[in-house]
Structure 1
Amino acid sequence: MEERPPTLRVVVISPVRIYVEGLARLLDAEPGIRLTGTAGGVDTAVPLLDRPDVDVILLDMTGDMAGERGLTALHRLAGITAVPCVVLGIPDRPAEVIACAEAGIAGYVTNEHGFADLVGTLRSATKGEFTCGADIAAGLVDRLAALARDRRPAALVNLTSRELEIVALIESGYSNKEIARLLQIQLTTAKNHVHNILEKLGVRGRGQVMAAIRGRQWGIETAPPPLRVLAESS
């Protein structure tokens, strides 16, 4: 008997209510997908993202959310949660996709993709797979290589042994309170360490620290396998 894939629990974020309602109905009707909730923006999504039953976020980046406004939302999400985020409606061009990848996306679908493509991308994102065209894959690899050359030595020099411990715990999903308990330090001390790590690594939130580790930008040997960039076959 064929094994069913695990149920995928999705939060949809879009400022267009009718768009959210349409996506919600489609996703809820799809076998193996459960809609955890919807929100009109990042602020209203925060209570949903604090819940443990969220596997992936779908962020609408069409219309008013295109360009810088959408990128700002992505950066805010990266600072709030480590849940993978798939964006909807960005152009399939290297500059736009790479900008979103640097902001922490785990996948994307364009206006030309269909619902089946969206479902596949949501599932791939939870497995650490980033599917894109060959030209975009090449651009992503080049960009990651440039970031590694520019940042890796400084990061290794600047992080203390205690900060490296905390980076590993952040990557494993521990909260500041849990880090304080595990390392037997005050909560304020743990928060200060996390703040210093963000500043030293030049990132904006815990989610970006995790993305950096997965990309092995900082040379931490205990990091899990990096995000797999899969070039679509022509």
Structure 2
Amino acid sequence: MPGASTEAEEHTAAPRQTRTGRPAPIRLVILSAVRLVHEGVAGSFDPVTGVRVVEHTEISSEAFPRIGQLRPDAVLVDVTTRKGLQVPRRIQQFCPQAALIAFAVAEVEEEVIACANAGFCGYVSRQCGASDLLQALYDSLDGRLCCPPHISSALFRRLAHHSEPPAPHSSLDCAVLTPRETEIITLADTGQTNKEIARELRISDSTVKNHMHNILQKLMVSRRGEALSRLRSRPIV
């Protein structure tokens, strides 16, 4: 009809902006260990949404430098595999400006907190659809996080726990790890096995085992899980 404008025309004439003033189109990268997943999610965004998918690919070390050159506004990461939780630490050196959003998250306290600890600023649960995914993207770029009350409560409890002053004369405060030991226990906290840590650091499996043995002794624990629990509850100095 004369004088009428379609939604697409309105979008072209006045691009959507986030509260931070970021103009559309939003440049988005999608990462998943499953090709069918990243292709399918990429296909859920059409031009009217104000999102331009500049890359969708498998999670790999080779992809990160290429993604950095694309300068995305946001990176959407499938966290159904261990690789997904490792993405923030590995990709931030290439595109620190990008908002990192986890998708396919099981909406339970442990899973959401694990995403927050990994470095994600937003998440989309496994029960969400395409419209929820789009809204989570907008929210993350605007500095907002929408989540159920039980997740909000869990996040506040975690913040309160970390804000507590350390107990005096804590054995952990007195434990001094070497730079290599700190590097190994940090990688272990991402879920990597001794073999995977050895491969990443280019050292032997036996060397990793020796370092882990020393770490357990210094932290006065007998199991790897106990060491990781203490690492999460209080920084190692």
User: TM over 0.5: same fold?
Assistant: yes
Take 1:20 and 1:130, find their aligned partners in 2: how far apart are those partners? 23
Q: Which amino acid aligns with 1:86?
A: I
Report the TM-score, using the length of structure 1 for normalisation.
Answer: 0.57
Consecutive aligned runs of 4 or more in structure 1 exceeding 6 Å deviation: none
- 1:148 deviates by 2.8
Change (3 A) 1:53 1:61: same
Q: SS of the counterpart of 2:164?
A: helix
- 1:38 deviates by 1.6
* Paired residues of 1:42 and 1:77 also in contact (CA < 8 A): no
Q: Percent identity?
A: 29
- 1:35 deviates by 0.8
Take 2:85 and 2:71, find their aligned partners in 1: how far apart are those partners? 25
Who is 2:84 aligned against?
Answer: 70
Change (3 A) 1:89 1:150: farther
Who is 2:230 aligned against?
Answer: none
Change (3 A) 1:93 1:129: same
Change (3 A) 1:150 1:90: farther
Q: Does 2:152 align with 1:137?
A: yes
Q: Does 2:143 align with 1:125?
A: no
Tell me which of 24, 34, 51 is aligned to 2:69. 51
Change (3 A) 1:144 1:42: farther
Who is 1:40 aligned against?
Answer: 58
Computing the radius of gyration from Cα coordinates, the structure with the larger value is 2
Q: Does 2:110 align with 1:110?
A: no
Tell me which of 84, 109, 120 is aligned to 1:94. 109
Tell me which of 154, 161, 164 is aligned to 1:149. 164
Q: Taking CA–CA contacts closer than 8 Å with sequence separation of 6 or more, which of the two structures ends up with the larger relative contact order?
A: 1
